Structure 1
Amino acid sequence: MTSAAPTSHDDGEHPAYAALTAGDRRAVLRQSLSVGIATGAYGISFGALGVASGLTTLQTVALSLLLFSGGSQFALVGILGAGGAGSAAVATSTLLGVRNGLYALQTSRILDLGGLRRLAAAQITIDESTAVAVGQEKRRAGRLGFWVTGVTVFVFWNLMTLAGAVVGNALGDPQRWGLDAAAAAAFTALLWPRLHNRDAAATMALAVAIALLASPVLPVGVPVILTVLAAVVVGLAAHGRHERVDPEVES
């Protein structure tokens, strides 16, 4: 009979449930704020592209406040700006947003929330908040990282969206400012230290291969979903392999 896993509360003796030290807290805050600010700054690009695609400033700002999913937002304004139908823009945006639901399966186990706090967490369950949360060894660090990263991105993304929408055409091409690379650079820096084991490296290699092969031939959003599903498959396979290898511990 295997030993029981720690409960969903922080009262167990498992290291993952240990209290945070001052050093732990500083490290999480530093990581969360750096990722949040770098990602949020790219919101100025969305604001400029939103008004350039024909949306009003109010509509552009509302998208960031309510939808709050960068990939979905860029897909929507990109299709509208290219003259695509509204139905196609919404469908593609929704397809990209599916990945956030997959993220919630993981973050819900870390946060263990209910009621209004669960609704608030759902709004900021995005790439960055999820990555910071699951990247922590301690559950309390994961919770802190999730909230600080999510709220920081939300605040800066919306402020910069407003700035980009107001400045509009005066900004010119946002890519010339390097803002298109800021979020990607922050996310790469976040993921790079986690590529030290075989499972993580295999996930990265498979995701890159799928993205490169699928992006030229599939609609926007589909390659992202495929890479997420590939990561889930690798994770499940690794979990099953570890379960078979690890000896059972008598309770």
Structure 2
Amino acid sequence: MSSKQQSITAVSLGVGFATGVYAISFGALSVSAGLDLWQTMALSLLMFSGGSQFAFIGVIATGAGVVPAILSAWLLGVRNGFYAIRMNPVLSVRGLIMPVAAQLTIDESNAVSLLGEPDRKHERLGFWLTGIAVFVFWNFFTFLGAILGSQIGNPTDWGLDAAAGAAFLGLIWPRLSQSKFLALAVASAFVAISLSSVLPAGVPVLLTALLAVGFWLFGMRGGKK
């Protein structure tokens, strides 16, 4: 195994664990919102999108019903479709592997795959290792949080959400040394923060994703002409 592969493997496992630990909060909050253990596990196994899962149980906890919960979860999950557009030519999967790749197309797997650029082999390694690591740890800690429930107190007091965010920031930090990516990050953060209090959950995230796509289409691609 080359040093590059070793580095990507280490990052993949580290990100998988750091992200997975955050699922303790999800498991505990899901049970407190009224879902049972198996419903909670079904969300992590099948939906497998942290932001969407938290949005779903957050709406359920207010008593608003299943339909608004599904819509909120969907809005937060749309961004994964943009990741799929980028990853499709990298992975080039077909047949039964395609739904597996789709399930593992998340923030973290997309971010770690970038560490492998421009080598497609390394990009694929980062994607698959991170996706599988996050899936395993996320579901393990979801189960742990759900069965412990009230015994762990208020999950939000643990600061696990900050740990997950810090891990993701660490992944993209090297790219922020370039002024164009730093400008995009600042603009995206401004849009998300300024609109989060006036728009439904998920919409600000979708708008920042569209901003990034627009940057790629009219900025980076335009600069290559």
| Shared fold, TM over 0.5 | yes
Structure number with greater Rg is 1
State the Cα deviation string for residues 41-65 of structure 1 (Å, max 9, x = none). Answer: 1111100000000001110011100
- Residue pairs, 1:29-108, within 5 angstroms: 29-108=9-88
Residue 210 of structure 1, CA deviation? 0.3
Helix, strand or coil at the partner of 2:200: coil
Taking structure 1 as the reference length, what is the TM-score of the superposition?
Answer: 0.87
Equivalent residue in structure 2 for 1:202, among 183, 187, 190: 183
Whether contact under 8 Å (1:174, 1:180) holds in the other structure is no
Percent same amino acid at aligned positions? Answer: 49
**2:174 pairs with 1:193:** yes
> What number of residue pairs does the alignment pair up?
224
Moved over 3 A (4+): none
**2:217 pairs with 1:230:** no
Distance 2:61 2:23 in 1: 17
**2:100 pairs with 1:120:** yes
Query: 2:187 is matched by which residue type in structure 1?
Result: L
Whether contact under 8 Å (2:79, 2:206) holds in the other structure is yes
Structure 1 spans left out of the alignment, 5+ residues: 1-20, 245-251
Helix, strand or coil at the partner of 1:113: coil
Residue 169 of structure 1, CA deviation? 1.0
Q: Output the aligned Cα RMSD.
A: 1.1
Partner of 2:129: 148
Distance 2:209 2:114 in 1: 15
Distance 2:60 2:218 in 1: 40
- Residue pairs, 1:2-21, within 5 angstroms: none
Structure 2 spans left out of the alignment, 5+ residues: none
Whether contact under 8 Å (2:8, 2:115) holds in the other structure is no
Decide which structure has greater helix share: 2
**2:192 pairs with 1:218:** no
Whether contact under 8 Å (1:100, 1:126) holds in the other structure is yes
Residue 241 of structure 1, CA deviation? 3.1
Whether contact under 8 Å (1:77, 1:89) holds in the other structure is yes
Whether contact under 8 Å (2:22, 2:164) holds in the other structure is yes
Distance 2:162 2:84 in 1: 26
Distance 1:243 1:157 in 2: 40
Taking structure 2 as the reference length, what is the TM-score of the superposition?
Answer: 0.96
